[in-house]
Amino acid sequence: MKTETVDAGRLETWTIDEVADAYDKNDIALIDVRTAQEYLLEHIEGALLLPMPFLSPGKLPSQEGKKLVFYCGSGIRSEKVARRCMESGMKNIAHMEGGFGAWKKAGKPYMGTDVSTGAPKRVEGKTA
């Protein structure tokens, strides 16, 4: 995990493996800040969708017990969202380094779209 001290606190940037491990243990809530179209095409299974333009930090769910970890396609939007949340006073947040592109490159499983039917399908990650 990388950390950066900013005026609003400590910004955490988690690696793909750190996110996957914490998510498997149900220690975090994973929030996708990409567009609805991006999410419908492919996303991390079980991640919540909250597109960046619609974010209202004060309306996010309670952070008791779970850290909120944001992700996007590359890590740029999720970092902006994390910073915005921190500026609003939120403390228990982080974002995923490299975004969904890095998640796929690391061979992690995700939900994709079967192009022949348009139906969602689970895409298994690489076996190590």
Q: Which residues are catalytic?
A: 72
Residues 6+ apart with CB under 8 A from 64: none
Q: If DSSP codes are grouped into helix, strand and coil, which group holds residue 106? A: coil
Amino acid (one-letter) located at 103: W
Distance in angstroms (rounded) separating the CA atoms of residues 18 and 54: 27
Q: Which two tokens stand for residue 16?
A: 């793909």
* Torsion over CA: 120, 40, 70, 123 (sign): positive
